[in-house]
Structure 1
Amino acid sequence: MNLPVLESVAATAIAEHPAPSALRDRVDDAIDRAIAERRLVGAVVLIARDGQLVYRRAAGLADRESDRLMREDAIFLLASVTKPIVAAAAMKLAEQGRIDLDAPVTRYLPQFRPRLADGSEPQITLRQLLSHTSGLSYRFGEPTGSDYDQLNVSDGFDQPGLGIDDNLQRLSQAQLRFPPGQGFKYSIGLDVLGEAMARATDTPLPALIEELIAAPLAMKDTAFRIVDHKRTATPYTDGLAADGSRRPARMHDETVLPFFDGALRYAPNRLENAASYPSGGAGLAGTAGDVLSLLETVRRGGGEILQAESVATMMREHVPAPLEGLDPGWGYGYGWAVLSDPAASGTPQSRGTIAWGGVYGHSWFVDAQRGLSVVALTNTAIEGMEGEFTFDLRDAVYAGLAAAK
């Protein structure tokens, strides 16, 4: 057992309890098959049930080229696993009266004034940024050649050294996709929100996350920088050789991965450049244990960081299904998707389950009805976020729990 993970999850009062063999065997099989078929290079999977850590495993390689084994305390670039952390911090600031979620973003960022196609300049609220109803988008969510491309808007995990003022200036020139509050589009809104939080409190976003979330939950490895390079997992992208076999490719800065009509542009070394802005939607690094600490705190109602009412608000479906980019039956809350119709989604998860992932290869979900939190951080994109592995793992968890009864 790795002490760093034990220390990390200790803040959530998670006691360790061995998994039933039915659960352990099925989850092991899902992980082993993904690695054997070279869909994943490595992964860390943690499962908590009713406040007990029932499964923990580091599998495969953290770095294939040096044969460095994956560790439970491996540090990953979290990508959009950043969002629930920043969303929780925003809710805490709202509780403290330090920000107003219903205020226009121009109260805190006076120069940020994107327009609609007709040239009008609507108000965007912080709440709309939080729920992806602002009319903003992501560059990777737009077709090649879009205004986001032409303006070279950063998605928050590319372009090392780019400052937030420059990116906001570019983003403000892009056309809003719909009037704020009248649609849903997954977007860079959390980057805008993060800077609004910083300006409102006169405190840099990294310091806010440390103060409001990381320190109270003992998330010692969660930061907008790498705290220990020896534990960092090397990222890879899905690969397919000419003979049809798989071999994920080592990711480098400027790696581009096609994604629907657009493309994901990666820069794994972004956090090494101190001038890179702290992306509220994609900029954190951390461990699986840290992520589990946050999720278990949410599942328990807020604990050390939030009032129960704030957590209930975050877990409510604010934008109902169906939504662009989400599976059937999933709406959106604050920081994550919310399952409103398990039958439509064809999932064994309970109504009200929250879930999200990250484009470096991560997925997680919390099924509060069953007292279940599952975190899977991998170093292989996109398989670890929405590939076959994510469904195999989900199904293995529920089948294992059912068989153990």
Structure 2
Amino acid sequence: MSAAPLDRDFGRRIDRVIDAAIEEQRVVGGMILVAERGDTLYRRAFGLADREQGRPMAENAIFRLSSVTKPIVAAAALSLVEAGRIALHDPVTRFIPGFRPKRPDDSEPVITVRQLLTHTAGLAYGFAQPAGNAYEDARVSDGLDQPGLSMAENLARIASVPLSYAPGTRWGYSVAMDVLGEVMARAAGASLPDLVDRLVAQPLGMSDSAFAVRDETRLVTPYADGRDGPVRMGEHHLVAFGEGLISFAPARTFAPASFASGGTGMNGTAGDVLKLLETLRKGGGPVIRRETARAMTADAIVGIETTRPGWGWGLGFAVLRDPAAAQTPQAVGTWRWGGVYGHSWFVDPTRDLTVVLLTNTAIAGMAGAFPDAVRDAIYGV
């Protein structure tokens, strides 16, 4: 049974949060959609797509999706599982024989497809670690920088770094989805961009979602948090996040030789993202079967803690275990994630509620006061 519907004032509360964020120069611009029981009850393009040119944000603006890529690629992967092209228990080496990262003791554990989907493979992200980490030393790309870097070279760099833990024993947010993308491509004999287009984007009418930008005139300009407000990203831009630094190279989007990053490489609109999330909420068709969607959106790592209190992980994104520990008004079973270019989304299935918030401002649009305030405005807390 669904919870009580949104009250009549929720839109005005969101407006106040957004207006304040623009006035206080926390974000430059963005697009938000709020759907309840399949109906879009609130939509707003706000701020500027390009501040220096004075170009206003449009509802059909295209964003560099960063980790909003992950649920799209995960859905495509599970479609391949249903088709028998890959299995969750398959070892990665079945498809990429040379990908054999080792533990510090030189042992070579098996890494499975399921561990890639759940970020329990022993891999890591360089940006999630202090400066001078092994991923940085090996010049591993997190999928956001180094235009022109090939998949073969990045896989070799990843495999050269010792695993952070024995696969299956812990959770660590990581480049696992990039490895999974290559598994998918080899298993299906097609490029990852073609697979995602055929298995997800075309069936759902996600016409602006791709690894390439289909209309550059609608692509938003990326900005990053700065001391006195957002600053326009340069050719290579470092943004502090936790103990580490996120390395951005916005031009990567236009470098065709860059590997197709299954974790961060896609571009798309808020409307397209909503189509995917609503499809999964309603049962997955025509992309995946209902039982697969149910497994995807359930906690798949029971007994393993993530680095986010109160949150577990499904087959592609976080799943809420304990609202009190997570300090959120969302219900148990809510699934969510975001993207470092400045995005946040969630689905609260108990309320049939889906929210997509895409901005052009890293990191403020993804984590912290602004997305938390938007969430609380929706719930009225």
TM-score range for the pair, normalised by the shorter chain length: over 0.9
Under a length normalisation based on structure 2, what TM-score does the superposition of the two structures give? 0.97
Residue 24 of structure 1 and its aligned partner are, at CA, apart by 1.3
Deviations 1:74-102 (A, max 9, x none): 00000000000011111110001011121
Amino acid corresponding to residue 375 of structure 1 in structure 2 = V
Unaligned runs of 5+ in 2: 1-5
Matches within 5 A, 1:40-51: 40-51=27-38
Pair 1:223–1:42, CA change in 2 (3 A): same
Under a length normalisation based on structure 1, what TM-score does the superposition of the two structures give? 0.91
Amino acid corresponding to residue 114 of structure 2 in structure 1 = R
Give the number of equivalent residue pairs: 376
1:84 aligns to 2:66 (yes or no):
no
Partner residue, 1:35? 22
Partner residue, 1:377? 358
SS at 2:278's partner residue?
A: helix
Residue 346 of structure 1 and its aligned partner are, at CA, apart by 2.1
Partner residue, 2:318? 337
Residue 320 of structure 1 and its aligned partner are, at CA, apart by 3.8
Partner residue, 1:254? 236
1:303 aligns to 2:285 (yes or no):
yes
Partner residue, 1:223? 210
CA distance in 2, matches of 1:322, 1:90: 23
1:60 aligns to 2:51 (yes or no):
no
Q: Is the 8 A contact 2:170 2:304 kept in 1?
A: no
Matches within 5 A, 1:129-168: 129-168=116-155
Residue 21 of structure 1 and its aligned partner are, at CA, apart by 4.4
CA distance in 1, matches of 2:344, 2:133: 28
Aligned with 2:335 (options 339, 354, 378): 354
Partner residue, 1:286? 268
Q: Is the 8 A contact 2:306 2:312 kept in 1?
A: no
Amino acid corresponding to residue 262 of structure 1 in structure 2 = G
Pair 1:381–1:48, CA change in 2 (3 A): same
SS at 1:26's partner residue?
A: helix
Aligned with 1:233 (options 211, 220, 242): 220
SS at 1:115's partner residue?
A: coil
Aligned with 1:188 (options 155, 169, 175): 175
CA distance in 1, matches of 2:66, 2:307: 17
Matches within 5 A, 1:171-182: 171-182=158-169
Aligned with 2:299 (options 312, 317, 325): 317
SS at 1:81's partner residue?
A: helix
SS at 2:156's partner residue?
A: helix
Residue 147 of structure 1 and its aligned partner are, at CA, apart by 1.4
Residue 20 of structure 1 and its aligned partner are, at CA, apart by 6.2
CA distance in 2, matches of 1:22, 1:145: 48
SS at 2:35's partner residue?
A: strand
SS at 2:110's partner residue?
A: coil
Amino acid corresponding to residue 372 of structure 1 in structure 2 = L
Residue 62 of structure 1 and its aligned partner are, at CA, apart by 0.3
SS at 2:286's partner residue?
A: coil
Amino acid corresponding to residue 256 of structure 2 in structure 1 = A
Pair 1:377–1:77, CA change in 2 (3 A): same
Unaligned runs of 5+ in 1: 1-18, 242-246, 401-405
Deviations 1:126-157 (A, max 9, x none): 11011000000011112211211111000001
CA distance in 2, matches of 1:105, 1:357: 26
1:392 aligns to 2:379 (yes or no):
no
Q: Between the two proteins, what is the percent identity of the paired residues? A: 52
CA distance in 1, matches of 2:246, 2:146: 12
Amino acid corresponding to residue 213 of structure 2 in structure 1 = I
1:203 aligns to 2:190 (yes or no):
yes
